[in-house]
C-alpha cells in the first residue's frame, strides 16, 4: 500500500478508536484496551518475538510460560497506558493535579520540585505511565520533554491536538539546539529525558539487564556542564486510574577531569535505577521495543 494511503488508513482507524474511548466509561475502555492488546500480541509476530527475546535475555522469566505471561502483561500495560492518558486528559485542567497520585520521593527531591528557581534533569524510561508522569510533575513545575515525530504525519497532528495544554511542553528530539535544554534548566523547569532509547553509534555502551546497550550521553553531559541536580523518576500504576510517582536522587557527579569516566559513572547509576524499577514491575515495562541491537559498537561522547 502506498505510504499516503496507508497513513490515511491509520489516521481513520486512530481517530475512530480515540472517539470510541472518549465515549466509553473508563472500565469498559480499559477492558477494550486489554482485549485489543491481546489481539496485538497474537497478530504482531515481530513485536512479540522481540518482547519474548528481551524478557528471556534479561532473566525476567524462569521459562517460556513465564516469559509469555510477562510479555502479555507488557502488551496489556501499553494498551492501558493509552486509555489512562486519554481519559485523564478529558476535561483536564492545565496541570496533572487532578490525577490521584502517591508521592514516593525523598525530601530533598520534594524540595527541588517545590523550588520554582531550581532546574532539574529528570531521567526516566519506558516503565509505568511515562505520559502521566510528565503531566503529574507539571503540577509542581513546568516540564520540557523530548519527543520523536511519528512517521505518520496525520496521526502526529491528531495526537498533538489531543495533548492537554499547560505546563508540559515537548521539543523535537533531533532539533540540534542544546540551548533549549540549558534555557529550561535556567528557568527552573524539569528537563525530562528517556535513557532507554537506542543511541546507535552515537552513544556509550552501558550494561543494561546483563547486556550492553548503546545509551545516549546527553543527559550526563548536561549534568556535568550545568551542575543541575539529576534525579531518576517514574510513575507506576497501583490500581484503576491510581498511580505512585517514585524518585531517586538527587544524583551528583563531581567532575574528575576524565569526561568519559564521569559520563559512564552517571549512565551506569541511572541505568541501575531503571533496572531496579523494571525488576520490581516487569509487566509495566515496554519489552517490545528494540533496546538492544546486535553487533553495535559505541562509546561516543560529543
Whose cell is 486528559? That residue is: 89
Cα–Cα distance, 165 to 288 (Å, whole number): 30
Cα–Cα distance, 274 to 272 (Å, whole number): 5
Whose cell is 510528565? That residue is: 134
HSE-up of residue 151 (Cα within 13 Å, Cβ side): 5
Cα–Cα distance, 4 to 10 (Å, whole number): 10
Higher pLDDT among residues 87 and 25, named by residue? 25
Whose cell is 494511503? That residue is: 5
- Domain locations in the chain? 3-284
Cα–Cα distance, 106 to 103 (Å, whole number): 9
Question: Which of 33-42, 61-70, 105-114, 173-182 is least confident?
Answer: 173-182
Cα–Cα distance, 217 to 24 (Å, whole number): 43
Cα–Cα distance, 118 to 21 (Å, whole number): 38
pLDDT digits (tens, 9 = 90+) for 268-290: 999 999 999 999 999 999 999 88
Beta bridge partners of 121: 191, 230
pLDDT digits (tens, 9 = 90+) for 111-169: 999 999 999 999 999 999 988 898 889 888 999 888 776 666 666 676 666 665 567 77
Amino acid at each position: 500500500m502506498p505510504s499516503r494511503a496507508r497513513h490515511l488508513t491509520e489516521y481513520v482507524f486512530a481517530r475512530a478508536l480515540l472517539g470510541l474511548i472518549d465515549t466509553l466509561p473508563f472500565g469498559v475502555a480499559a477492558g477494550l484496551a486489554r482485549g485489543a492488546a491481546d489481539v496485538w500480541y497474537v497478530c504482531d509476530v515481530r513485536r512479540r518475538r522481540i518482547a519474548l527475546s528481551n524478557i528471556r535475555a534479561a532473566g525476567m522469566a524462569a521459562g517460556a510460560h513465564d516469559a509469555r505471561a510477562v510479555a502479555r502483561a507488557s502488551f496489556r500495560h501499553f494498551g492501558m497506558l493509552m486509555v489512562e492518558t486519554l481519559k485523564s486528559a478529558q476535561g483536564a485542567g492545565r496541570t496533572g493535579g487532578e490525577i490521584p497520585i502517591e508521592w514516593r520521593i525523598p525530601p530533598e527531591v520534594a524540595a527541588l520540585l517545590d523550588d520554582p528557581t531550581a532546574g532539574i534533569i529528570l531521567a526516566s524510561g519506558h516503565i509505568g505511565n511515562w505520559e502521566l508522569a510528565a503531566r503529574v510533575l507539571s503540577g509542581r513545575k513546568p516540564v520540557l520533554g523530548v519527543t520523536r515525530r511519528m512517521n505518520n504525519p496525520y496521526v502526529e497532528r491528531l495526537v498533538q491536538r489531543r495533548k492537554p495544554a499547560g505546563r508540559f511542553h515537548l521539543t523535537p528530539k533531533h532539533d540540534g539546539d542544546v540551548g533549549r535544554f540549558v534555557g529550561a534548566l535556567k528557568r527552573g523547569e524539569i528537563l525530562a529525558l528517556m535513557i532507554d532509547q537506542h543511541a546507535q553509534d552515537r552513544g556509550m555502551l552501558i550494561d543494561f539487564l546483563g547486556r550492553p546497550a548503546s545509551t545516549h550521553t546527553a543527559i550526563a553531559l548536561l549534568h556535568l556542564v550545568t551542575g543541575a541536580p539529576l534525579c531518576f523518576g517514574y510513575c507506576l500504576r497501583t490500581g484503576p486510574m491510581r498511580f505512585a510517582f517514585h524518585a531517586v536522587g538527587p544524583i551528583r557527579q563531581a567532575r574528575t577531569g576524565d569526561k568519559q569516566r564521569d559520563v559512564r559513572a552517571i549512565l551506569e547509576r541511572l541505568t541501575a535505577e531503571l533496572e531496579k524499577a523494571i525488576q520490581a514491575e516487569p509487566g509495566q515495562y515496554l519489552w517490545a521495543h528494540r533496546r538492544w541491537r546486535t553487533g553495535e559498537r559505541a562509546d561516543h561522547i560529543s
